[in-house]
Structure 1
Amino acid sequence: MNGIAAAYRGTNQVGLRASNERLALSLVRIHGQLSKAQIAEITGLTKQTASVIVRSLEADGLLVAGRPIKGKVGQPSVPMHINPEGALFLGLRLGLRHADIALIDFVGGVLEQRRLSCGVDAVGEIAPQVQSAIAEMRMRLTPGQNVRLEDLGIAVAADLLDALASDAGNDDIEEGWAVLDGVASRINGQTGLRIYMDREAVAACTAEIAYGLAGSAPDFLYVFVAHGVDGGIVQQGRLGFSRREGRPGLARVLVPTARGEVAPLGRSVSVDDVGLTPGTRAPDPALRKWVVSAAANIAYAIHSASALATFRSVVVDGPMPAWVRAELAREIKESLAAFGLPDLSALFVREGTSDRQTQGLGAACMPLLDRFFLHSTFDPAPRLESE
């Protein structure tokens, strides 16, 4: 079993079956498949308790049994898998120029997706478009699938938040959230779906945990480079950052500036500085200079984060071409090595997978993890339920 298993231990106490069910689902998601005996071994639960939990999840349609595997002795082992149709989720990404909505299944498969017209001037009016898109998607689902459609996650891009705050005549991000909370409330009223809403970095990191390479890593620092730098620490597979400005987050870490001052990392590095888009192809001197400068600032922030928490790797992500992200990750690794500290030099720095994710997938993963899997102790996903 991989390193994340040791962090997940169960309890045999009566009344905590829901927690243990989340535990079992999380482990099956991470490993791909597990038998009842393996679940009991990893979690420390009795075989009887593990068997009861698995039978309950199978009866609810969340787990499905695979083909029995015959061993040398005893009964065949039956591997359990996540049932793709066990639950369905919707994800909506709100950007500065457009919005994207996706319908995903329980294993992250994209069943349908579409782009909606959106902009800073029209974001307040997007609720009817979202309601119409959801209604059309639901018409193509079977009755059984409609019953299993759970929630809607909304991921908000940082540039949209800034634009909304600017339109309000100040730099208070909460002004932007107030507008978006109103949008979420209208969507909730029109669809009856429970709404989760958070920053795009939270959504992208959630998808990385659920379906990216980070799913097998219990502890890492997530660095999301977009309109600004966002992210934070993930420990035992759980996010430790959220939309709330007062909560921990990488954007708040102070780093040196070219003027010899210090400033928050979140405002010191931006893909906007060099006009990066996912389609950018050719390197140029200005881009190379940006990569070196951004990597140095991010490395300082990683150093500060490592003084307060233990993590084994750093995941560098964001809406940029894969080759730029790879170069940024390499440069961060070199900047960390230049500090001459063994623990920083030993960190594994790699690229995230947001460029390979459908727009809206990360947003849909927020309710997916919150409802069915082990999730953040900081409760990163504010929920809005219909009355």
Structure 2
Amino acid sequence: MTGRIGGGSSARTSPIYPGYRGANQVGLRASNERLALSLIRIHGQLSKAQIAEITGLTKQTASVIVRALEAEGLLSAGRPVKGKVGQPSIPMSINPEGALFLGLRLGLRHADIALVDFVGGVLEQRRLSYGAGEMGELARIAYAAIAEMRSRLTSAQQARLEDIGIAVASDILAAVASGKGEEGPESAWAEFEELALQMGEETRLRIYLDRDAVAACSAELAYGLAGGAPDFLYIFIGHLLDGGIVQHGRLGFSWRDARPGIGRILVPSATGGVVPLGTSVSVDDVGLAPGSRAPDPELRKWIEASSSSISLAIHSASALAAFRGIVLDGLMPQWVRAELVREIKEKLTAVGASDLASLFVREGTSDRQAAGLGAACIPLLDRFFLQSDTNGSAGSGEA
């Protein structure tokens, strides 16, 4: 039952828009299954006829796909709905029990682990504490927590447990790199690759490893407001600023490719030079924490300076890629994020460029998501939902 849909790695979901069309060739069955699941996830429920109408698939092909997904336990049939003519239509919805995923977010001093169902419901979650950057202790505690969670699953749930997504925060990356006497957090990835390999051997599950921002953006695509836009610039502010462009529902940034990413764009520094945006904006600058409340002069200065730098970076990014808006998120109180969004909107309007002024700028929803959910969304999207090519057509894959 597990590993049912192929189609390659790095797949991401995408909302409906005219570029997404299905294909009737047998060789594209896996792609069409992803397409059907993605559409049903977005709409909540759809009949076979509605899937055929939206995708351009024949009714027969849509029916075959839906029957296969239902037989594999990924879809559930609702009550028939009688129309004016013809046979009643049967609405299909995602089966929450169709697949389970584990998500593990690794921070400097603690990790968050969550067991997530196929519709993003968090079945269980825990916070694990360990010494700052202590990889050996981290691995031991994580193994024990995963084993304990799995021990409580029924045999049916065990069979549906698919993968583990691991999201690595920039603060622990920096700490591990510093402990090795190396500069730059990217140099620490080998440590986490080794951890992922060991965890795969220990758990016998497929492991997905990526940055914290990728996990947060994946959750935003799957269950947040960003699911309504196929092309946007995602910005995540933590120990460092991270993020990049999402096009046709596909993330264009990952730890596997250090080149793309909005954090690499140069912006003016306080000393008159230029610095990468990623290192110039950090929640550490003003000691931000989710529980912070009252504004103060230093925080106001930080909001003003950060919004200016981010706005300049958005302007630079828009010169090379098309996107419809910006989603900003991060490890900060909601009111701070709201202020940043407001300031960025004003600064983009003040530039005088109509294309920038027309961009939507909205807050992300990471504070309303379980911390481990984003990590679990990395394999969830990759394994089961739509992968698009650069032209926006449905991606292909083996049946």
TM-score calculated relative to the size of structure 2 = 0.91
Aligned to 2:21, what secondary structure does the other structure show?
coil
1:25 corresponds in structure 2 to 37
Q: Which amino acid aligns with 2:231?
A: D
CA distance in 2, matches of 1:186, 1:3: 36
CA pair 270-372 structure 1, distance change in 2 beyond 3 A: same
1:75 corresponds in structure 2 to 87
Deviation at 1:15, TM superposition (A): 1.3
- Which whole-Å deviations, capped at 9, do the CAs of 1:298-347 have from their partners, x for residues lacking one? 00111111111211111010111111101110001011111111110111
**Does residue 312 of structure 1 match 2:301?**
no
Pairing 1:164-203 to 2, within 5 Å after superposition: 164-203=176-215
CA distance in 1, matches of 2:73, 2:180: 47
Identity of aligned residues (%): 71
Unaligned runs of 5+ in 2: 1-13, 391-399
Deviates more, 1:34-43 or 1:71-80: 71-80
CA distance in 1, matches of 2:327, 2:348: 14
CA distance in 2, matches of 1:21, 1:217: 21
Unaligned runs of 5+ in 1: 379-387
**Does residue 85 of structure 1 match 2:85?**
no
Q: Which of 340, 344, 347 matches 1:332?
A: 344
CA distance in 1, matches of 2:122, 2:295: 33
**Does residue 293 of structure 1 match 2:294?**
no
- Which whole-Å deviations, capped at 9, do the CAs of 1:198-227 have from their partners, x for residues lacking one? 000000000000010111211111010111
CA distance in 2, matches of 1:291, 1:373: 36
1:371 corresponds in structure 2 to 383
Aligned to 1:15, what secondary structure does the other structure show?
helix
Deviates more, 1:151-160 or 1:115-124: 115-124
**Does residue 11 of structure 1 match 2:23?**
yes
CA distance in 2, matches of 1:251, 1:376: 25
Deviation at 1:91, TM superposition (A): 0.3
CA distance in 2, matches of 1:227, 1:245: 20
Deviates more, 1:33-42 or 1:118-127: 118-127
1:40 corresponds in structure 2 to 52
1:115 corresponds in structure 2 to 127
Q: Which amino acid aligns with 2:335?
A: W
- Which whole-Å deviations, capped at 9, do the CAs of 1:350-373 have from their partners, x for residues lacking one? 100000010110000000001101
Higher relative CO (CA 8 A, sep ≥ 6), structure 1 or 2? 2
- Which whole-Å deviations, capped at 9, do the CAs of 1:138-159 have from their partners, x for residues lacking one? 1211111110001000000001
Pairing 1:221-300 to 2, within 5 Å after superposition: 221-300=233-312
Deviates more, 1:304-313 or 1:58-67: 304-313
CA distance in 2, matches of 1:3, 1:188: 32
Deviates more, 1:164-173 or 1:56-65: 164-173
1:205 corresponds in structure 2 to 217
Q: Which amino acid aligns with 2:263?
A: A
CA distance in 1, matches of 2:119, 2:104: 18
Deviation at 1:228, TM superposition (A): 1.4
CA pair 307-296 structure 1, distance change in 2 beyond 3 A: same
Q: Which of 342, 362, 379 matches 2:354?
A: 342
Deviation at 1:262, TM superposition (A): 1.6
| Count of matched residue pairs | 377
CA pair 94-292 structure 1, distance change in 2 beyond 3 A: same
Q: Which amino acid aligns with 1:169?
A: G
1:162 corresponds in structure 2 to 174
CA distance in 2, matches of 1:67, 1:209: 29
Q: Is the 8 A contact 1:124 1:180 kept in 2?
A: no
Q: Which amino acid aligns with 1:117?
A: S
Q: Which amino acid aligns with 1:149?
A: L
Q: Which amino acid aligns with 1:70?
A: K
Q: Is the 8 A contact 1:25 1:373 kept in 2?
A: yes
Q: Which amino acid aligns with 2:54?
A: I
Q: Is the 8 A contact 1:239 1:375 kept in 2?
A: no
Q: Is the 8 A contact 1:93 1:363 kept in 2?
A: yes
Deviation at 1:121, TM superposition (A): 3.9
Deviation at 1:245, TM superposition (A): 4.7
CA distance in 1, matches of 2:21, 2:218: 21
CA pair 246-175 structure 1, distance change in 2 beyond 3 A: closer
- Which whole-Å deviations, capped at 9, do the CAs of 1:200-259 have from their partners, x for residues lacking one? 000000000001011121111101011111111111111111113533111111112223
Deviation at 1:376, TM superposition (A): 7.2
CA distance in 2, matches of 1:261, 1:312: 31
Q: Is the 8 A contact 1:188 1:195 kept in 2?
A: yes
CA distance in 2, matches of 1:74, 1:178: 60
CA distance in 2, matches of 1:339, 1:88: 46
CA pair 368-3 structure 1, distance change in 2 beyond 3 A: closer
Q: Is the 8 A contact 1:5 1:27 kept in 2?
A: no
Q: Is the 8 A contact 1:95 1:118 kept in 2?
A: no
